[in-house]
Copies of this chain bind each other. A is one copy, B any other.
Amino acid sequence: MNQTELYTAQTTLPTDQLLEMYKWMITVRHFDRRAVNLQRSGRIGTYAPLEGQEAAQVGCGFALEKQDWLFPTYREHGVSMVHGLPMSTIYMYWNGRPEGCVAPEGVNIFPIAVPIATQLPHAVGAAWASKLKGEDAVVVGFLGDGATSEGDFHEAMNFAAVFKVPVIIFCQNNGYAISVPMRKQTATETMAEKAAAYGMEGVRVDGQDVVAVYEVMKKAADKARTGGGPTFVEAVTYRYGSHTTADDHTRYRDSEESEQWRNEKDPIDRLKKQLIDLGVWDEEKDKAAWDEADQVVQKAIDEALSADPVDHNRIFDHAFAELPWHLQEQREEMRKLYGNGGAK
């Protein structure tokens, strides 16, 4: 039942889907690099880069249906945009804007959970509701390697298995929790083997191979959708850069390590080579694709950065459905001191 050797792609996908995946992966990477630069130039706040993890996220995103739910961490930009979250929304989040947490109606993406692993019980609960309502929506709860140490991970895994809910617990094992390497995080060789402790299927997949990730997630999603219950998926991947723009990864690991991943296991190079071998891709097409990505990303950046200043009434607007007296008075005082914001 448990697959703890690295799962690699068994089949190949239709060319047009591979092309679509590839374009998404470069878009995600470009989005990410621009975000890092925006932070450097002081135009957005602290940002959590994902460069290196594009295949894990795009592969996951492609395996899901529109009605499915995501319960993301702060690093799920890639899968979130594939699942329908506007890029500009994500940029706004990293600019500390409330709109940055709001997915469009019909896009089932829960706001980013900052406290580690706390979103996993939510994912299990949402999947439970989906099951109770007889809907065919599947839920994906995201986490990293470090998050497996938190009690909430344990409780969520156990609830998922006991109630056999349609959830996939998707762990992107990028080798580090900020500065802490996996070997200091757990005494196991893999994360996937932890699933057995819950009587849950666990799969370890090459997170740099978008097709492998897609296959594993698709299988898990189909299983969940047809009443087969939860799956734990460990995607073995790597973040090339720092934990966030506030972090300096050279303090805790030698750059050779990340260079090696970049040179030998880059998910984009890898797919690009496949596409070229298939004879459906070349450098010219590639340049065009990056240019297109740049336009899309630029548009999102312009939108995010040109948005009106945040209306400070938002502090109160959604604190409660109906503001209790003390919040009403505090809002009044705020308006008196700092202006009405957008309030009528």
Contact = CB atoms under 8 A, between A and B. Distances in A.
A155 B161 contact: no
Contacts of A152: 151
Contact of A149 (B150, B155, B164, B193): B155
A194 interface: yes
A179 to B, nearest CB: 15
- Please give the count of copies of this chain that the complex contains: 2
A117 B89 CA distance: 41
Most buried by B among A150, A185, A197, A199: A197
A196 interface: yes
A149 to B, nearest CB: 5
A151 to B, nearest CB: 2
Interface in A199-216: 199-200
Given A187-B200, A194-B197, A151 B162 contact: no
A110 interface: no
A249 interface: no
A11 interface: no
Contacts of A199: 186-189
Nearest to A199: B187
B186 A162 contact: yes
User: Interface size class for chain A?
Assistant: 20 to 34
Contact of A198 (B158, B162, B184, B188): B188
A153 interface: yes
A200 B193 CA distance: 12
A154 interface: yes
A197 B162 CA distance: 17
Interface string A161-186: 11010000000000000000000111
A181 B153 CA distance: 22
A20 to B, nearest CB: 37
Contact of A158 (B161, B186, B200): B186
A106 to B, nearest CB: 33
A309 B252 CA distance: 60
Given A149-B158, A151-B151, A193 B186 contact: no
A95 to B, nearest CB: 34
Nearest to A151: B151
A295 to B, nearest CB: 46
A186 B198 CA distance: 7
A27 to B, nearest CB: 37
Interface of A: 149-155, 158, 161-162, 164, 184-189, 193-200
13 contacts: A150-B151, A150-B155, A151-B154, A153-B154, A154-B154, A154-B155, A161-B186, A162-B185, A187-B198, A188-B196, A188-B198, A193-B197, A196-B197
The 8 closest A-B pairs by CB, nearest first: A151-B151, A187-B199, A197-B197, A154-B154, A161-B187, A194-B197, A188-B199, A151-B155
